[in-house]
Structure 1
Amino acid sequence: MKLREELPVDHRLSQVYRAGAGLCGAVLLVFGCLGLADGLSFFSTDGERIAGLSSNGLLSLVSIVVAVVLVAGAAVGGNLASTVNITVGVLFVLSGFANLALLDSSANVLAFRMPNVLFSFAMGLLIATFGMYGRVSGRLPHDNPYWRDRHAQAAGRPAGGTAVPASQGRTALPGGPV
């Protein structure tokens, strides 16, 4: 699996990356704002229930910061949105594991409980899936812009997306479009 910056920028998959980042960012922003609006104690390890999850002021602030990063990635779009989604998704999953180890300890500064850990895993996988959609696969279809860029010669064009003039001919792939 390679994520490269020279991949095509203007393609319809960008809408998936933007929608994923925007929707997940909106959910986190609402959660964070609800926590700050309730005036939660900033470093409480007990936390209080907000939207079914345990939260404190620090977790609310972290949620808002992550939401801003996701929404900024959605605003920019393209490969940046995809990369932001993948990175934030992986960080969410890692956070779930780290906070699982800290449950019921004095080091639980984000006031995590088991529902928070499960939410962190689920949200992380969802965000990462939005970022990887159509970009990371062992069998991308031949009309996928990432496949075309990685196999420019076979797709009949130089890397970067410009078509080869008809006078230069094209090479056909077995089972793929010409």
Structure 2
Amino acid sequence: MKLSDDLPVDHTLATVYRYGAAFCGLVLLVFGALGFADRLSPFTTDGQHVAGMSTNGVLSLVSVLVGLVLIGGAIVGGNFASTLNMVVGALFLLSGFVHIFILDRPANVLGFGMTNVIFSFVMGLVILTFGMYGRVSGRLSHDNPYWRRRHAREAAKESLARRRGERTPVPGTAVADREALGSSSTARETPAE
């Protein structure tokens, strides 16, 4: 099974993926540009502080490149932006875990400090959230394009029933929840014979 098999081509959630990628890309681009403006040395492991985090020339370059990739994903938009957000978010989380173990060692070529590790975790979670929004959940509503793509038969039945004018509440919506509550309360009120 390919991941792209479950992705609808056009949906309103694409705006969330696009703005999320653009916002996070812009933050990284600004951080990297501030590092270049200070003319940092490329491979110092102690790092100089920029915007409250330690950095060096290589980290500034990586930040600018990742920021440009995210902005490029925002320009492309759609499912590409969603997938890109999830991949970059996961890489940020992985980077945070790796840098916890190499903070005060020569292997710390990006000049990470503890604030960078925390930033990496927070930014990773934010980017992941933007990428997974409306796409990954235990209970997607039936009007969600990802649910409709994954459950094509049920979605077709619901569409047909709507066209015929039959009242079939979509699970996960307010109408369905009200009807479920109403039927359970009437069931409780009906005496057993």
TM-score tier after normalising by the smaller chain length: 0.7 to 0.9
Shift of 1:43: 0.3
Name the one with the larger helix percent. 2
Alignment correspondent of 1:32: 32
- Whether 1:148 aligns to 2:148 is yes
The SS at the match of 1:156 is: helix
Q: 8 Å contact 1:45–1:109 — kept in the other structure?
A: yes
Question: What amino acid does structure 1 have at the position aligned with 2:149?
Answer: D
Shift of 1:4: 2.9
Question: What amino acid does structure 2 have at the position aligned with 1:27?
Answer: V
Deviations along 1:77-133, one digit per CA (max 9) or x if unpaired, are 111000000000000000001111100111110000000000000000000010000
Q: 8 Å contact 1:45–1:108 — kept in the other structure?
A: yes
Deviations along 1:151-175, one digit per CA (max 9) or x if unpaired, are 1111117xxxxx7698999995774
Q: 8 Å contact 1:21–1:71 — kept in the other structure?
A: yes
Q: Which moved more, 1:166-175 or 1:61-70?
A: 166-175
The SS at the match of 1:49 is: strand
Q: Which moved more, 1:71-80 or 1:166-175?
A: 166-175
What RMSD in Å do the two structures reach over aligned CA positions? 2.5
* 1:174–1:125 Cα change, 3 Å: closer
Alignment of 1:9-158 (within 5 A): 9-156=9-156
Question: What amino acid does structure 2 have at the position aligned with 1:66?
Answer: V
Q: 8 Å contact 1:17–1:130 — kept in the other structure?
A: yes
Counterparts of 2:74 and 2:25, CA distance in 1: 9
TM-score normalized with structure 1 length: 0.88
* 1:140–1:27 Cα change, 3 Å: same
Question: What amino acid does structure 1 have at the position aligned with 2:128?
Answer: A
* Aligned-pair identity (%): 60
Shift of 1:176: 6.4
Instruction: Say which one has the larger Rg.
Output: 2
Alignment correspondent of 2:185: none
**Long gaps (5+) in structure 2:** 177-193
